Amino acid sequence: MRKQQILNKEIESFDFQSGGEASSNLKNILRKLGVSAQIVRKTAIVTYELEMNVVIHSLGGEITALISEDELEIRVDDDGPGIADLDKAFTAGYSTASDEIREMGFGAGMGLVNVKRYADQIDVKSSLGEGTHVKVIIKLSS
């Protein structure tokens, strides 16, 4: 099944100015493609959380979105430092965010929990020093 790339964007570490742009861009692209509001909303939540995790927790990375007739594929890849314990990272309320970040309103430890909740499929590869690679599938027909 052929997939078409509809977004590829760099995400800079600690860039709170542009942080959120990729998910917002993708939202507009999906709307233009006629994707249903419900799917657009789900996708926006997933991409925003993953994008902000790259801004907050990583050295920087990129997001890529592909679409086919029946699904969306979102890939978020960063250059490290990676996640030591994935089970912990997916636990509600777990966060390593600093006080400074918490003051900005992040760090509830709910991002990945929500990504998992809204994704139809999720695959995370990460280890310390290796960077984090997330692949999410969102079905278009649900």
Query: Strands of 121-127's sheet, edge to edge?
Result: 4-12, 60-67, 71-78, 131-139, 121-127
| 111 interacts with Mg ion by CB under 5 A | yes
Q: Phi first, then psi: what are they for 61, rounded to 5°?
A: -175, -150
Give the residue among 80, 14, 72 at the shortest CA–CA distance from 45.
72
| 78 interacts with ligand ATP by CB under 6 A | yes
Q: Which is nearer to Mg ion, 61 or 111 (CB)?
A: 111
| 51 interacts with ligand ATP by CB under 6 A | no
Q: Which is nearer to ligand ATP, 14 or 36 (CB)?
A: 14
Provide the H-helix boundaries in 58-90: 86-89
- Find the binder of Mg ion among 23, 43, 47, 53 (CB under 5 A): 53
Q: CB under 6 A: which stretch of 8-16, 24-32, 38-46, 49-57 binds ligand ATP? A: 49-57
